[in-house]
Amino acid sequence: MIGRRPGRGELLVATLRSAIQTARARLPERLGGRGPFVGVYDSYRDVPSTSTDHAGDNWVRLCVAEATRLRDGDGLDRWQTKSRELEPVVVAMLAGDHPVQVVDFGGAVGVSYLLLKRRLHDVRVAYHVIDTPQICGAGRELFADDPAISFHESTAFLASLPAGGLLTIANALQYVEDWRGQLRELLRFRPSHVLLTQLTAGEHAQYATLQRNIPGAAIAHWMFSERDVIELVESEGYRLLYRGRCQNDLNQIHHAEALRIGQFRNLLFHAT
C-alpha cells in the first residue's frame, strides 16, 4: 500500500527509466535494441511470461506518482492519449439529465477520470475503475475525498448497476487471457456505449506475443484480429459506430511485416 506522496526524485527515476526503455526499443537488435514485443505464439499460455499483470510495485508507484502530479496541476502530456477518445463520448452523453455512469476496465489509479475532471465544466460522472487489488488500494487512497470515483477488484458490482452508461477499455483487454469471456462479462450491465481504445489489433489472425518493456515484468500480450473483436461485441447486441487509429505507432521490429499492426486501434459501439 502506498501511503505517501511520491517525491520528485522517485518520479524522475521512473520517468527516466521509461524514456531509456523507449529509446532502446527503437534500435535494431544488432545495435542493442530490444523491441517491446518478441515471439509469435498461438496460445496465450505458451508465452514465456514472468508476470501476468501490471500489479508490480514499480508499476503502481509510477501510476501513483504521475496521477498525483496530474491531480495537483502539473499534468504530463503523454497521459493525454488515455482520454482523447473518451472525453468527447462522455461530453456527448452529458446532454442528458442524469450523471454519466462510466465503467473503466483496467483504469489503473484513475488517470482518465482525472483528465475528464480537469476539462469538464460540469462534472456529472459516476466513475468505476476495475483493476488489481494493489492498484485499487492505491486508487482509494489517492481519491479518498472524492465520492465520484470508486475502485473495484472484481466485476461483481456490475449486477447492481442500471443499464446504460459507458464501458471503456483503454490498453487493457490485450492482457486478459480469456478476453472473450471477460468482455462478455463486462457487457452484462448493458452499457449504451462501448469504447475500446489503444487495442493492439490488425488485419491478421490473432496471435500472442511477449511484451518486455514494462519495468520488472515480462507479460503475455494478445495481438488481436480487429474483425474478431468487432464480431464479438456486435454478437452481444451492439453496432459499430466508429473505427479509427491512435496517432502513435506500435514498435514491432521483431515481427514479420504481415503481423505488424502499425498503430493502435480505437472502436466505438452503440447498443441496438
Of the candidates 131, 143, 144, which has an alpha carbon nearest to the alpha carbon of residue 53? 131
Eight-state DSSP code of residue 183: H
Query: Grid coordinates 463486462 are at which residue?
Result: 186
What's the pLDDT score for residue 67?
Answer: 84
Work out the percent of the chain whose per-residue pLDDT is above 70.
81
Mean predicted confidence (pLDDT) in 102-131: 90
Q: How far is CA 212 from CA 24, 120, 194, 207, in A?
A: 12, 36, 29, 16
Q: 65 pLDDT exceeds 70?
A: yes
0.85 exceeded by the pTM? no
List of domains in the chain: 8-271 (3.40.50.150)
Q: 1 pLDDT exceeds 90?
A: no
For 84, other C-beta atoms within 10 Å of its C-beta total: 16
Alpha helices in 72-210 (DSSP H): 86-93, 111-119, 133-142, 179-186
Position 119 confidence tier, pLDDT thresholds 50, 70, 90: confident
Mean predicted confidence (pLDDT) in 79-94: 77
